[in-house]
């Protein structure tokens, strides 16, 4: 089980892989980001990307899934107060396989809750062609 003391600045945690399908992309976007470039393959051909692309929010959700699978599920994670500086760097298309890394930036004990530690990290996802598609900074609290 991952606890606060398992994290250290500079540590690199490899994330697994996740392949997106057109059906999944359309379903997600239909619920949460219903823009034609994400929900309608025909309309997407007239968009700046020229084809169906995943919602950036879907890409974030895939990143969360990969982090859960790699270390969060079953950890001593208590709460995550936020995500900062989300950047969608390149489009994600049907059939793309995403993978990535979580680099621990800083760890420190909580000032107000001595049984918890704060972990900040930079998460970067890339496609199978090594093109980065997402970069974001996360903060989470873990039991010591």
| Helix (H), strand (E) at residue 25 | helix 22-32
For the chain, residues with pLDDT lower than 70 are none
88/133 Cα distance (integer angstroms)? 6
Q: Is residue 25 within 8 Å of 112, Cβ to Cβ? A: no
Looking at residue 2, its pLDDT comes to: 95
Confidence at residue 22, expressed as pLDDT on a 0 to 100 scale: 98
CB-based burial, 56-82: b 16+ in 10 Å, e otherwise? bebbbebbbbbbeebbbeebbbeeeee
Q: What is the pLDDT of residue 59?
A: 98
pLDDT of 10 reads: 98
For residue 35, how far is the Cα from the chain centroid?
A: 21
Q: Give the pLDDT of residue 12.
A: 98
Which pLDDT value is given to residue 109?
97
| pLDDT digit string, tens, across residues 32-54 | 999 999 999 999 999 999 999 99
Mean pLDDT of all residues belonging to the chain: 97
DSSP for residue 130: S
What pLDDT, on the 0 to 100 scale, is given for residue 85? 97
What count of other Cβ atoms lies within 10 Å of the Cβ of residue 102?
Answer: 24
Task: Give the CA angle between residues 67, 72, 77 to the nearest 5°.
Answer: 140
| pLDDT at residue number 80 | 96
Which residue from 82, 143, 72, 80 is spatially nearest to 113, judged by alpha carbons? 143
The pTM of the full predicted model, rounded to 2 decimals, is 0.95
Query: How much is the pLDDT for 134?
Result: 98
- pLDDT on residue 144: 95
């Amino acid at each position: 089980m991952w606890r606060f003391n398992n994290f250290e600045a500079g540590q690199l945690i490899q994330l697994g892989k996740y392949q997106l399908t057109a059906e999944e992309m359309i379903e997600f976007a239909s619920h949460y980001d219903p823009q034609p470039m994400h929900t309608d393959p025909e309309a997407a051909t007239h968009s700046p990307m020229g084809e169906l692309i995943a919602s950036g929010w879907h890409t974030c959700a895939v990143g969360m899934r990969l982090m859960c699978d790699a270390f969060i599920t079953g950890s001593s994670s208590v709460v995550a107060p936020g995500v900062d500086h989300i950047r969608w760097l390149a489009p994600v298309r049907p059939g793309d396989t995403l993978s990535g890394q979580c680099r621990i930036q800083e760890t420190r004990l909580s000032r107000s809750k001595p049984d918890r530690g704060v972990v900040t990290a930079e998460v970067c996802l890339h496609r199978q062609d090594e093109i980065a598609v997402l970069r974001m900074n996360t903060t989470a609290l873990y039991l010591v």
